[in-house]
Amino acid sequence: MTKDDALQIVLRALERLNEELDEPVDVGPRTPLFGADAVIDSLSLVSVIVDVEAEASEALGKPVSLTDDRAINQPTSPFTDPETLAGYITSLAA
Amino acid sequence: MRQVADNVWCVTAGGFPANSYICRTDVPGDAFLVDVGLDPEPIAAALQILNCRPAHLFCTHGHFDHIGSARYFQERYGAEVHLHTADVKIARTNNFILMVMKREDRISLPPLSLVEDGASFRFGDRTLIYRSTPGHTPGSCSLVWGDQLFTGDTLFTQGVGLSKLPGENPAQLRSTIRSLWGFLDNVIVHPGHGPSAPGMIVKRDNAALRAFLAEDATVLDNCDV
């Protein structure tokens, strides 16, 4: 899986989230997902990450965990934006 | 600590408060726990007052406010920690949930003894039975202890246990509550949050629960409410 493949998975999950939001957010590789500038609330972030986890696992044909202690203990949070999340997914796939 | 039934005490504590229950068995000094949240100290203090040691901790489900300090009780008392198989993944995502909720707390899961629907544990003349009640989470269970029913977040005496967290399935929760409906007439309900109450009072007075069930007319009809 390339980083762009992973990025597309994340962006698709955000587009699906947008369908449920009263006020859709701008979706792009640098959309802030976590932290002070986050454009989505915490429950939405959880929903997106779980969605991404499922699709990435299916694409790779093996379980991918984005919500375990390894993920949250990364020096740079994988949840900062779609691009950093895609990078983390790619590292798990390697 | 407050006594909620014969030989059953409730401790509600922590920055994210949930109910923990201490159940004293027929064996002197012996007890078991139902759910432990993020803060173990008030529960340990209550155990000291009651002069009993828990040999088992039964978790109704895997959310951090119900299993958060399980390791503490395993290490201090040797308590065996039980959780339904279907909630192991939920339990492993707790620190992620705590992080996105911007909480400083982090938990460390102890080795778990996994249970399935119908698992039973004998304490003297009485038996505790795990009853699978999915919906709030895939592995949510209610624990039957004679006429005491520990429901976790499956059934509240006031309101409904919906959190929008991963794994929640409102339709399944409705179906689960339907399966419990007749049983409620004969038990005291001890929920994961909020006060205990007789099941028949919950059926009559929990307006939010009735409204939730009414969202699916089929369930409402079958519940005879």
Q: Range with the lowest mean pLDDT among B3-17, B51-65, B160-174, B192-206?
A: B160-174
pLDDT in tens, B26-59: 888 899 999 999 999 999 999 999 999 999 999 9
Domain annotation for chain A: domains and CATH numbers: 3-93 (1.10.1200.10)
User: Taking the mean position of all CA atoms in its chain, how far away is CA B118?
Assistant: 16
Residue B80 phi, psi dihedral angles, 5° rounding? -80, 130
Residue indicated by tokens 């059926």: B203
Q: Find out if CATH 3.30.420.80 is the number for domain B2-223.
A: no
Which residues of chain A make contact with B100, given a CB cutoff of 8 A?
Answer: 34, 42, 45-46, 79
Indicate the domain borders of chain B.
Answer: 2-223
The tokens of B183 are what? 């049983």
Task: Tell me if A43 and B96 make a contact (CB, 8 A cut-off).
Answer: no
Please state, as a whole number, how many other Cβ atoms lie within 10 Å of the Cβ of residue B97: 21
| pLDDT for the residue numbered A43 | 86
In chain B, % of residues over pLDDT 70 = 96
Q: Range with the lowest mean pLDDT among A62-66, B18-22, B113-117?
A: A62-66
A37 in helix, strand or coil?
Answer: coil
Q: Which of B100, B104, B105, B162 to mutate to test the interface with A (most CBs of A within 10 A)?
A: B100
At B218, is the pLDDT very low, low, confident or very high (cuts 50, 70, 90)?
low
Which residues of chain B make contact with A45, given a CB cutoff of 8 A?
Answer: 100
Task: Tell me if A43 and B95 make a contact (CB, 8 A cut-off).
Answer: no
pLDDT in tens, B79-132: 999 999 999 989 999 999 999 888 888 999 999 999 999 999 999 889 999 999
Which residue numbers of A have CB closer than 8 Å to B's CBs?
Answer: 34, 42-43, 45-47, 49-50, 65-69, 71-72, 79
* Averaged pLDDT of chain B: 93
Q: What is the mean pLDDT of residues B144-165?
A: 93
Chain A contact for B100 (CB, 8 A cutoff): yes
Q: Range with the lowest mean pLDDT among A30-44, B64-78, B128-142?
A: A30-44
| pLDDT for the residue numbered B163 | 81
